[in-house]
Chains A and B, each alone.
Chain A
């Protein structure tokens, strides 16, 4: 079920056709992964993006910034029920070596956190056109540190 877009940023147009076909497959099996078993595959993190799959994965390529996690996560895509766009899921690949600089995030207490953040950014870029940044507060600004 739902073997889609496994490792590799470029799906290519043939793969996308496959992707779109696979989107018709009903739900992937419920939650996988068990918190207590370190050998079990990680839990899927999933976000719903309110746009059709071809806008979420233009030209069949993983969207930025998900592409940066290539080789470290696997990704699944399917059409959301009820015209709600696309369900985009990712989880850390067991035994994969994360890209340099990201390793710590993928092996910490919550390896899903980086994946969640990344999916969230994909969603923001597709739906809102930009990743919203917080205000800089006085405490963040070197010029006002006393």
Chain B
């Protein structure tokens, strides 16, 4: 585990900002993706209607979750797929371990799945002496480094080419100092090819599960999910239950939105449809709750389950771009992660809804119209009311409220405050005042507007 994972967001962000050149690079790289997204969506005049359609389909899904999941299960079983239900991460991990053991295997190849990150599957299997190789290139890179992904679509976006070259040199024996992407990618592909050919068990995520057909769709840009499962005897698909959509025709809406929002591509390079195991193959789907029903039961936050994990909200988030994925100490980083994580653990993630200026860019870029910034605001209210804030903050806020609700106290405090700034600035202009560390204080006027108004207007 990364040492940064123990810091709260502000402290981790402070660490990240110690290397300003790196922050600039991180910011510009992700802004480039956001710009690509803007160009791609501008080519679709009906973009806003598409978002609305997706949002409505997802709303329908959330309101009919039970029926749709039952329908999905029935159809999938009829197609010869084995369905497993997991209440939480532990059950999810145990079920997968069981399937691997049944297959007589001790190693597995895996394509991208944020759900398995959420459940800490890799660590669990490694502890049980099952070797797991991530086959998504970015995920493989961070896996070799012993880090979690820092972004849900671009897992290694926090690394420069030089850092990747260093990692490959260490783990794959590439030339020292090599940074040529072509050369490095080739090395990774050779290494993964050997993995694909020798694994009996392959795991994928699920992007969309279709109730009507009992099938599911996995989207990747590298084709690594297909490589894994086509060569394996056992295909396990890990699925958060909110991935359900009612009918196959709805895919047309989501597939147009997903890749454009994620990377600015018209469509993901591979959208692989799985409906039944091929002859001789076993296919399993593990349907996971892990707090999702709890979130579904919270009217203010249930919308967060509409997420299709495109990462547009991360790319656009000015805070994410300048604090890095690890600062969110959660499998899903960025604005969406900050509204999902408190559901999993309010105490541990109480800082995340505050890692935002509430600028609202996330909500408006979101292809399924999740009211992300409003939920961030609402989480703040819940967390502070339930006592997850630092005690000093509560005291300060209470004092502030007392002053600001009384016109008399407010005017007195204002006068004193301005006086202090004017006549003894050193008391506030010091290193202990976080405003002043890198910014000048505003220059205090002799007279407030109130006083001016009384003196000039009334006269």
Same complex for A and B? Answer no
- List chain B positions with a Cβ less than 8 A from chain A: none
